[in-house]
Amino acid sequence: MNEIVAKLRLPLVQIDRVLLAFIAIMVVLVVIDPPQVPESLRFMGGSIAWITPFFLLSIGIAAYAKATGAEHLIARVFSGNPVRMITAAAFFGALSPFCSCGVIPIIAGLLGAGVPLAPVMAFWLSSPLMDPEIFIISIAELGVQFTVAKTLFAIGIGLLGGMATLVAQRSGWFSDALLEGAFSSGCSSAKKVEPTVNWKYWTEQPRREEFNATMKSNGWFLGKWLAFAFMIESLMVAYIPASVISDWLGQDVWWTLPLSVFVGIPAYLNGFAAVPLMAELIEMGMMPGAAMAFMIAGGVTSIPAAIAVFALVKRPVFVWYIILALVSALLSGAIFQMVAS
């Protein structure tokens, strides 16, 4: 009997959660508002057609970085004096093609090898906020000004977090940052991250296979999130009056930015999915600064990034990480609102 139940459960476990959520939305629409189904599908199809060139370019860049081995150049970032390490880590984190999950083994190895917490924190804070894929898609959806500003904020947040952590450590804080037993699973040292770069990846069969595999995996991952985001966007257009957004997040009052940060943490879907949603919310009346605060708060404190910190460092360091993220989101939103207005 147990074997039969297990076999019945297996297909459900294997169904992608994003796909499952998409199907659930469609079923609910069919039940409560059938005319909205073709409208949402038409909206989603048009949005996907518009974003496709940027989509292909973004996953191509990520696959190239993976196949050439350029991602392993991170090992060179963490060498030298602390200030130089923090600066390099902040820049590299904001511009590298790593997602929140992809940096976990690298960060684990660096911390396990004794790399100081300050540059690691700089990389940790900046990496989830921007990468080549999000940069290209953000330009298409949010425009050059917003995208460039978010990139600069990602670098600045890494610098701020890294420098603040360095000062805190020199004052006697976080002298023992690692969580006991955090590396018992096999993360050993940063020596595993040796640079082996071949820019002409197509000359080696394994690298060609890596390129193809990365294109497929990133294409599926990014494609499903974008499709889901466009579906949600179509429902926002259909059911959320623009007055609601303008009334709550469009007012130039003191609580708008804190509210955006507060809402951004639990509501944040994914770095890719947030882009078209923010574009629509801005169109509906959301203040640009509130949108920036929302994206930065959600990006830094996204579940994968937060879990990585929680699993590797002691609780005071985790709390410090959250504080840095929230303060940085508020400052970024306030600065961008002043610039945008």
Considering the chain, what percentage of its residues have pLDDT values greater than 70? 72
The token pair that represents 243 in the structure block? 């007055």
Over the stretch 116-173, which tens digit does the pLDDT of each residue have? 889 888 988 888 788 777 888 888 888 899 999 999 999 999 999 999 999 998 888 8
Indicate whether 279 belongs to any domain: yes
Number of Cβ within 10 Å of residue 110's Cβ equals 25
> Are the C-beta atoms of 287 and 249 separated by less than 8 Å?
yes
DSSP 122: H
Euclidean distance between CA atoms 217 and 97, whole angstroms: 14
Would 259 be classed as within a structural domain?
A: yes
Q: What is the pTM of this model?
A: 0.66
Q: Are 147 and 139 in contact (CB under 8 A)?
A: yes
> How many domains are there within the chain?
1
Q: Is the pLDDT of residue 242 over 90?
A: no
The end-to-end CA distance of the chain, in Å, is: 65
User: Is 186 inside a domain boundary?
Assistant: no
Is 109 a member of any domain?
A: yes
Give the pLDDT confidence of 23-72 residue by residue, as tens digits.
999 999 999 999 999 999 998 898 888 878 877 877 887 788 778 877 66
pLDDT confidence of residue 176: 73
The pLDDT-based confidence of 232 (bands split at 50, 70, 90) is: confident
- Domain membership of residue 4 (yes or no) is no
Residue with tokens 């023992």: 176
- Would you place residue 113 in the very low, low, confident or very high pLDDT band (cuts 50, 70, 90)? low
Task: Name the least confident of 18-22, 110-114, 223-227.
Answer: 110-114
Confidence (pLDDT) at 190: 36
160 inside domain: yes
- Asked if residue 29 belongs to a domain, the reply is no
E strand spans, 161-261: none
Domain housing 253: 34-174+198-340
Confidence of residue 14 (pLDDT cuts 50, 70, 90): low
Q: Of the ranges 90-94, 120-124, 176-180, 255-259, which one carries the lowest mean pLDDT score?
A: 176-180
59-106 pLDDT tens trace: 887 788 778 877 666 556 666 788 888 998 899 888 876 655 555 556
Does residue 43 lie in a domain region?
Answer: yes
